[in-house]
Amino acid sequence: MGDYPVRLTTKGRYAVTAMLDLAFHSQIKPVTLTDIAARQTISLSYLEQLFARLRRANMVKGTRGPGGGYMLANAAGDINIADIIAAVDEPLDATKCGGEANCQNEKACLTHDLWMGLSDQIRDYLKGITLGQLLEKHRVQEIAKRQDHDAHQVVELHRHSELVSSFNDLL
């Protein structure tokens, strides 16, 4: 599937966090990066860097002028986590053996293939999680919390059995 392994870094976390903030607040009108920066304590200029990539990846739309700001390019339910992370992360192949048949060392490529397979698993998993799902789950959780103050309900998007089964189908 993917040519390069998935990376889960603070950069991706910033991007997902910002996109979540955007999904949450841009329901009615565009949200400025200044607002997101203030809410999420991320520097404005760093956000600008991230959103430049997100815009180029067609994940957000910016409108200029007073009353402007950013909105999601698609419905929150159509934006998945894997795409957000891919948008802000450099490809950075890290194949080492070129990925071609030029790799003579079978053993070396063995673990490489295993890791790439695992990486694809994680990517598929993240592709199955959307901003909409996260918000919806949180909304449900909030309602539950309001109804039962002490009930600490764990957010569970996918069932674990689903993950394992999808894992078993691959490789």
**Residue numbers of the site for DNA (CB under 7 A)?**
7, 9-11, 14, 30-34, 42-46, 48-49, 51-52, 55, 62-70, 89-90, 92
Q: How far is 9 from 154, CA to CA, in rounded Å? A: 23
* Helix (H) or strand (E) run with residue 118 in it: helix 106-127
Q: How many residues bind its own copies (CB under 8 A)?
A: 56
CB 129 within 8 A of CB 81: yes
Q: How far is 73 from 59, CA to CA, in rounded Å? A: 5
When the beta carbons of 10 and 102 are compared against DNA, the nearer one is: 10
> Which of the listed partners (its own copies, DNA, none) does 121 bind, with a CB threshold of 5 to 8 Å by partner kind?
its own copies
> Which of the listed partners (DNA, its own copies, none) does 123 bind, with a CB threshold of 5 to 8 Å by partner kind?
none
User: In this structure, what DSSP letter does residue 154 have?
Assistant: P
Q: How far is the CB of 2 from its own copies (least distance, A)?
A: 13
